[in-house]
Amino acid sequence: MTASQPKLFVKSYGCQMNVYDAERMADALAPEGYVAAASAEDADVIVLNTCHIREKAAEKVYSELGRIRKMKAETGRSPIVAVAGCVAQAEGAEILKRSAVVDLVVGPQSYQRLPGLLREARAGARPVDTDFAVEDKFERLSPPTPKAIASRGVTAFVTVQEGCDKFCTFCVVPYTRGAESSRPVSQIVAETERLVAAGVREVTLLGQNVDAYHGEGPDGRDWSLARLLYELAEIPGLARLRYTTSHPRDMGDDLIAAHRDCPKLMPYLHLPVQSGSDRMLAAMNRRHTAADYLRLIARVRAAQPDLALSGDFIVGFPGETDADFEATMSIAREAAYASAFTFKYSPRPGTPAADRGGQVAEEVKTERLHRLQALIADQQAAFARALVGRRIEVLLDRAGRHAGQIAGRSPYLQPVQLVAPGARIGDLIEADVVDVGPNSLFAEPAGGARETRSMLAEAAV
Ligand code: 5AD
Ligand code: SF4
């Protein structure tokens, strides 16, 4: 590394796809000599990789820009400031008007053009690129180096599908990420092989509607997500596969069967339902009923009885009555989640529900959110407690909180703490669950390290 190498700092908000995109932005700039900065204060280029899904998320960008402005004034430094991600896509040139500190705005479909845009910004232009590119973004983005992959750990995301054609009436995604499109199978296989060759053991396939994946296969036909999963499962050294996020309408029979037949596919399903009220589901344009959802998860559980179900819920959608909310509580009870994400409805400009009558009062939303969250927390704790005494496989992915500890993930995505002398990050080990903490499981490697029980108990305090 030389002193003249420019330093890049990317701060990501929002979903896993932004985490993946942040890595691809760093990869796109690596051939230009960019290296990672330890902090924004230290950077020559600061990228805010933003999220537009809810109002609170979108507002964060402006408070962060305020902090950067202050930092620039205090330190006398003048890094290039770029706004990327879904706020960039949604607000475009508005951002330049609202914040003088911004030098460049780039939407998620244009990251392959980042090196050129940065050169323009450095020359004093304030470029805005929110085009939906006709060229294949992924084809043009530089791949990560083995060193970069290794520095990111043993689990990795791979975007396989982007955009959404469903147009749920609350959601900005069809506008910010555009129409649904799937990457070709060969591209995804090559990317995954490269990750695995550099030490990755678990890959999560990402898409806003990942179960609608229909990329071109090597035979020239469209392949389903299930077929893609079987293909990736053949890669030696890859231990685990996951995918997220799914829409109930797109769970194909072959994907359900893969939960039974593909051992590398983890017994975990994130399947948002949003509401348990058919009236609300119709108003949301979800195109399924509560009964459809319950029937679907019964079919997935028939294929894989040992399933951790996760979901998303919105409370306080316009017109939601107490009875509608009770239907949501009731579907959550019946579906029995291992975890779930719960949100208050947030009106998003440009989406059909934003201007509807019947907007629900904030206090009502808060009260409903708390009730639903309490139920989900109980379900999550019950799911974890039921694992005590069971043997599970743990993928070790980071150092533990205390000396001698190592941490990993269960097949159900829970953090696991254990003491496993000699084990290394990247190992997949059998372990017996001995206790549960508020956010993790405590386990002992099968057939060893019995003396660790007291240490684990101590660590749990
Ligand atoms: N308000 C609240 N939650 C939302 N989500 C999407 N749009 C909104 C909104 N306008 C939630 C949904 C979705 C998750 C990614 O975010 O539950 O599944
Ligand atoms: Fe948004 Fe609905 Fe598409 Fe999910 S399926 S990204 S919630 S429009």
Mean pLDDT computed over every residue of the chain: 94
164 CA → ligand 2 middle, Å: 6
Please give the Cα distance from 181 to 162 (Å, whole number).
5
Please give the Cα distance from 60 to 87 (Å, whole number).
10
Question: Which residues partner with 436 through β-bridges?
Answer: 441
Q: Is 78 near ligand 2, meaning CB less than 6 Å away?
A: no
pLDDT at 180 over 70: yes
341 CA → ligand 1 middle, Å: 9
φ/ψ bin of 49: left (φ > 0), alpha (ψ from -120 to 50), beta (otherwise): beta
Please give the Cα distance from 438 to 385 (Å, whole number).
11
Each residue of 45-92: pLDDT tens digit? 999 999 999 999 889 999 999 999 999 999 999 999 999 999 999 999
Domains and CATH numbers, the chain: 7-129 (3.40.50.12160), 137-385 (3.80.30.20), 391-460 (2.40.50.140)
Phi and psi at residue 84, in whole multiples of 5°?
Answer: -120, -175
The pLDDT of 419-431, averaged and rounded, is 93
Show the tokens assigned to 120: 């323009």
398 CA → ligand 1 middle, Å: 30
Q: Is 369 near ligand 1, meaning CB less than 6 Å away?
A: no
Q: Flag the least confident range among 129-133, 296-300, 385-389.
A: 129-133
**Measured from the CA of 15, which atom of ligand 1 is nearest?**
15
pLDDT at 98: 94
Which ligand approaches the C-alpha of residue 247 most closely?
2
User: 28 burial class (0-12, 13-18, 19+ CB within 10 angstroms)?
Assistant: buried
Rounded percentage of the chain residues whose pLDDT exceeds 90:
90
Other beta carbons within 10 angstroms of residue 412's beta carbon come to 21
pLDDT at 454 over 70: no
CA geometry: angle 134, 351, 367, nearest 5 deg: 135
pLDDT at 457: 40
Please give the Cα distance from 365 to 214 (Å, whole number).
37
Q: Whose CA is nearest to atom 1 of ligand 2?
A: 171
Show the tokens assigned to 305: 């009885």
DSSP helix, strand, coil percent of the chain (3-state; round to 5) = 40, 20, 40
Please give the Cα distance from 460 to 417 (Å, whole number).
9
Residue 396: enclosing H or E segment and its boundaries? strand 391-399
Q: Is 268 near ligand 1, meaning CB less than 6 Å away?
A: no
**Measured from the CA of 247, which atom of ligand 2 is nearest?**
5
Output the furthest CA–CA distance in the chain (Å, rounded): 64
Q: The whole model's pTM is what? A: 0.94
**Dihedral, CA of residue 335, residue 258, residue 212 and residue 409, to nearest 10:** 70
Q: Is 345 near ligand 1, meaning CB less than 6 Å away?
A: yes
Q: 417 in helix, strand or coil? A: strand
Q: Answer for the pair 8, 29: CB distance below 8 angstroms, yes or no.
A: yes
Show the tokens assigned to 385: 């407690």
End-to-end CA separation in angstroms for the chain: 43
Please give the Cα distance from 208 to 269 (Å, whole number).
14
Please give the Cα distance from 40 to 105 (Å, whole number).
18
Residue 156: enclosing H or E segment and its boundaries? strand 155-159
Could you tell me where the DSSP H helices lie in 82-235? 85-91, 94-98, 114-122, 137-140, 146-151, 173-176, 185-197, 225-233
Residue in 16, 270, 312 to alter for ligand 1 test, most ligand atoms within 8 A of Cβ: 312
Sign of CA dihedral 50, 53, 57, 61: positive
pLDDT at 366 over 80: yes
Each residue of 220-246: pLDDT tens digit? 999 999 999 999 999 999 999 999 999
Which ligand approaches the C-alpha of residue 56 most closely?
1
Q: Is 343 near ligand 1, meaning CB less than 6 Å away?
A: yes
Q: Whose CA is nearest to atom 5 of ligand 2?
A: 166
Q: What is the DSSP string of 238-296?
A: --EEEEE---GGG--HHHHHHHHH-TTB-SEEE---B-S-HHHHHHTT----HHHHHHH
pLDDT at 3: 56
173 CA → ligand 2 middle, Å: 6
The pLDDT of 30-48, averaged and rounded, is 95
Phi and psi at residue 310, in whole multiples of 5°?
Answer: -125, 165
Please check if 262 is assigned to a binding site.
no
375 CA → ligand 2 middle, Å: 24
pLDDT at 455: 41
Q: Please state, in angstroms and as integers, the Cα–Cα distance from residue 169 to each residue in 329, 341, 342, 354, following that order.
A: 21, 19, 17, 8
Which ligand approaches the C-alpha of residue 174 most closely?
2
pLDDT at 448 over 70: no
pLDDT at 339: 97
Our separate counts of H helices and E strands in the chain read: 16, 19
The pLDDT of 149-164, averaged and rounded, is 96
94 CA → ligand 2 middle, Å: 25
245 CA → ligand 2 middle, Å: 9
Please give the Cα distance from 274 to 442 (Å, whole number).
32
Q: Is 369 near ligand 2, meaning CB less than 6 Å away?
A: no
Please check if 86 is assigned to a binding site.
yes
Please give the Cα distance from 383 to 412 (Å, whole number).
10
Which ligand approaches the C-alpha of residue 16 most closely?
1
Each residue of 88-137: pLDDT tens digit? 999 999 999 999 999 999 999 999 999 999 999 999 999 999 988 767 88
Q: Answer for the pair 50, 58: CB distance below 8 angstroms, yes or no.
A: yes
> Which residue bears the tokens 């020359």?
123
Q: Is 301 near ligand 1, meaning CB less than 6 Å away?
A: no
Please check if 171 is assigned to a binding site.
yes
